[in-house]
Each structure stands twice: as structure tokens, then as C-alpha cells.
A and B are shown apart, each in its own frame.
Chain A
């Protein structure tokens, strides 16, 4: 950044008549003595950069150590509620090995097998609840329903709900990007509206904001809702 210097009036003196405007980066006129320096003259520079490097590396190691050792950490209220629902399902999961990745659903930090498993878990829970409390026409799965939204909403809303689903999935590290036949079938139980279209894939952006890996490259459109759509036709 450039600075225009002009002479300052020192207290009590007559104004300097021949001041000039110079276009320079910083003030050269201050006398600084370099005599008798005890340490190296660039010591602040070196100390600053070394400190910065140490800080960044230290932060990285702390973060990796946290992931490995799993130090206990008090969670916020909402994640706690979500976790309580999850723990009942978590134990009996069998994450299958599935090498290929489907586009459109972004993979967050965690293994995506959990996403499918937890997805099935929710399906099972909802079906169990359904047995005791028959609900007609309401969307199944607390994941899909936002507060105050019914199924009779516009297609766009339905798409947004799916987007919320995906945001939640991503946010709760559940993002599944391996859709397969079973998952598509279980999706049909959720009665997702037929008009989910690729427009609402933009809400998937919420997934890839995560600290995890970059999202799987989408080849233009969302395949997940289309597969579900296909299954329900």
C-alpha cells in the first residue's frame, strides 16, 4: 500500500515551506540506529515465521491426535439429541465393502458405509414406529421433514426437504455416496416426492463445505433422486 508523506508540523516551529508529496511505501525519514545490536537484525522476522510454522504444525498434530485418541468432548445440545437416536441403531450395523462411488452425494469425513447403515437404521426405526402409530400421508423419517412442512408442499419444497436431508446427512457425517438397489428401495418407503430434480442438487453444496475430503465429482446431475424416482415409478 502506498502512502503519501507530507511534512508534519512539529510543535512550535514555523511551517516548512518546501514539503513535497512522495509516492513511497513507507517512511524513510525516521532515523534508526543499527549500532550495537545484540541479536541478529532479522530476529523478529525469523522468530515470527518460526513461531507461525510451529503453530500451524502444532495445530495439525493436535487435530490428528484428537482424532486418534478420541479425547472426550462435551457435545452441543443438538448433536446430543441426534446421537441418542443413533446409538440404538449403531451397534448392529454391517458396513459392506463397496468400492465404487456414486456421484451427487458427497462424502464427508466418515466412512460412507455408516451413512447407508444409519439410513437403514432410520428406515427400520420409522417402520417400527409406523407399526404402532399409523400415519397417513405424512412423510416418514424425521430426517426428511423440516419443522412445519407437510408433504403437500410444492415440489420445490419437497426438493428442498431432500436437500435438508442431504445437508443433515452431510452435517451429521452421514453422507452416503454409495447408493444401491437396497437403498433406493428403502427410499421408496419415505415417499419422497417424485419431482425431486437436479436443480436442488445445489443444496448439496452444504455437504462439501465440510472439513472432510472434497466432494466426489458430479457428472452433471443428481443420480440419487433419479434412482429413487425410477424405483418409485
Chain B
């Protein structure tokens, strides 16, 4: 890189914080297994072929893709560090581009899936009687197809033109809009729940404020985890564009790998706050993991009872 500036570069103050590859590998494996489990459970259980679970399955699929590609990239970097891989090769560069495209695609897909889930819940609450007319399986499938197409194209475009500032702006704007939309939808739902809670509180002897507290806690957790895991990465993108030379921004950007760890841990936490809250899904897991529906399983069970 041509150094145009005459300023001395002093990198001893804010060193890049390096996270060991093992952390990424472990996170990737855990996230992969969890999300794959969710996907398989939703696909196998016919009861779960409803729009709500389709959106959750789509979220889990995007998380699976992101953890797969991140793990693959970590492995490649590990091999490159060890010296097994020539990081200057053409094929390696192409593979890296594919990985980046998949990562971008899965990030955008995750955000769109959150939006879809929030919209689905919103329709369930505010248009409950017409829910099955509004949110048919066909429409949900069409929405998912649209989301996947959009994310695929966006991922490819972002990697092809990754140097352009427009891409980063687009990413950040998408994130902010989704954040605001999700916040609005959930708060609106929460306010309706609160008004009903007030009605109940007006009845004699039935006020149970801890239930509403739990609602507040759930909503805070849902939204809080989303913001805490995603915002640092997007602030990094923003700072990359806005203040390239600023030492404060440089110090923030030196923590990039920690922000990546947060992003990946969100893929780990996601099934817990979306998928595992459903009893039907939990039952499917139990059946899948501990016993399949084979005759052998019943015999084994009979042996122990």
C-alpha cells in the first residue's frame, strides 16, 4: 500500500485483540449443532409446518450457514497460519470470496428472519381472527423465497463490490431500519398485553404483576440480545467509513474479533430465545435425540419399565 501520509505509524497503543481460533471453532460447532437440530426438527415434524415455524426454521438455516462459513474460514486461517495453505493462491481467494458472500448473506438473512418473525407475531396478535387467512403457508413460503433470493443477491453483490462505501451504508441502514421496526412491533404487542393485564388487575384478587414483569423481561431479552450482539459489528462498519484516521476509532476497530465473537454467540443464543420456547419443538428434540420412533426403541423402553 502506498503510504501517502508522513505521520509515523504507531501501533503499540491499541493492538489488535486476537481471539484464538479455538473459540471461533467451538462457537461455530455449538451453533451449528443447535441450529441444525432446529432445522431437522421443523422439517421432520409435520405439526411444525406452519408459518411461524417456517420463519424460525429459516432463521436457524441462516444461522447454520453463518456458523458453517465462519468455521470453514477459521479452519482456513488456521491452516494458513500453520503454513499448509498458500494464502496468495487464486483458488484460496475465490474460496474466501465465497465464504464472505455466504457470511453477508446469512447476516442479512438473519435480520430479515427476525423481521419476519416479528411481523408474524404481530399479525397473530392484532389480526388474530384473520391470521390463518392473512398468513397462509403459501404466502409465508413466498416471503421466505423472496428473503432468500434477496439475501443471496445481496451477499454476492456486497462481496463483489465490497470496497464501495455504498455497501456499508446499505448494511448499516438495513440494520437500523430493522432494529426500529422490530422494536416498534414488539413494543406495540407488549402494550396490548399490558392493557389486558390492567383489565385483569382491575378484577378482584387477580392482580399478578409478576406476569407482566416476565413479559417485560422476555421482550428486553429478545431485543437486548439482538442489539448487544449486532450493534458492535455495525458500529465497526460505521467507524470504518466515517473516521478512518481517528485514533479513538482505531482503538474501537482493534476489537473487531471480539465483535465477531459476539455475532457468532448470537447464533448460539438464537435457538434458545426463539426455537426452544416452543413446547412442540422441545418434544420433537426429545424424541429425536433420546429415542427415535423405531420399534427397537419401544422394546428398550419396555425393558426399563
Contact = CB atoms under 8 A, between A and B. Distances in A.
A208 B249 CA distance: 42
Interface residues of B, number: 108
Given A164-B129, A206-B52, A33 B8 contact: yes
A199 B214 CA distance: 29
B294 interface: no
A131 interface: no
Interface stretch (A39-47, A122-130, A132-140, A178-186): A39-47
Given A25-B257, A73-B195, A109-B214, A78 B209 contact: no
B223 interface: yes
Given A26-B256, A212-B193, A10 B14 contact: no
Interface string B120-135: 1100111111111100
A2 B13 contact: no
Contacts of B227: 52, 55-56
A56 B224 contact: yes
B88 A59 contact: no
B253 interface: yes
Contact of B127 (A34, A39, A59, A78): A78
A204 to B, nearest CB: 7
A205 B280 contact: yes
Given A44-B248, A164-B132, 10 more contacts: A32-B9, A48-B231, A56-B228, A83-B199, A95-B205, A199-B46, A201-B280, A202-B53, A209-B117, A212-B193
Nearest to A199: B47
Interface stretch (B29-37, B108-116, B138-146, B183-191): B183-191
A171 B125 contact: yes
B197 A32 contact: no
B270 interface: no
Interface of A: 1-5, 7-8, 10, 13, 16, 20-23, 25-35, 37, 39, 41-45, 48, 52, 55-56, 59-60, 63-64, 66-68, 70, 73, 75-76, 78-79, 83, 86, 90, 93-95, 103, 106, 108-111, 113-114, 146-147, 160, 163-164, 167-168, 170-173, 198-199, 201-206, 208-218, 220
B274 to A, nearest CB: 9
Contacts of B2: 7-8, 10, 13, 16
A93 B162 CA distance: 62
Contacts of B217: 60
Contacts of A41: 13-14, 247-248, 251
Contacts of B93: 4, 21
Contacts of A198: 47
Contact of A146 (B14, B92, B129, B223): B129
Interface string B232-257: 10010001000011111111110111
Contacts of A108: 193
The SS class assigned to the B binding surface is helix
B87 interface: yes
A147 B192 contact: no
Considering residues A34, A94, A108, A146, which has the most beta carbons from chain B within 10 angstroms of its beta carbon? A34
Contact of A23 (B80, B125, B228): B80
A94 B205 CA distance: 9
A97 B162 CA distance: 62
9 nearest A-B pairs in the assembled complex, by CB-CB distance? A63-B216, A67-B212, A202-B47, A171-B128, A31-B9, A23-B87, A34-B13, A29-B1, A173-B196
The SS class assigned to the A binding surface is loop
A64 B219 CA distance: 11
B120 A209 contact: yes
B213 A67 contact: yes
B208 interface: yes
B21 interface: no
Contacts of B244: 30
Nearest to B255: A45
B25 interface: no
B197 A67 contact: yes
Nearest to B189: A211
Given A44-B252, A60-B216, A202-B47, A28 B208 contact: no
Contact of A147 (B133, B187, B195): B133
A48 B124 contact: no
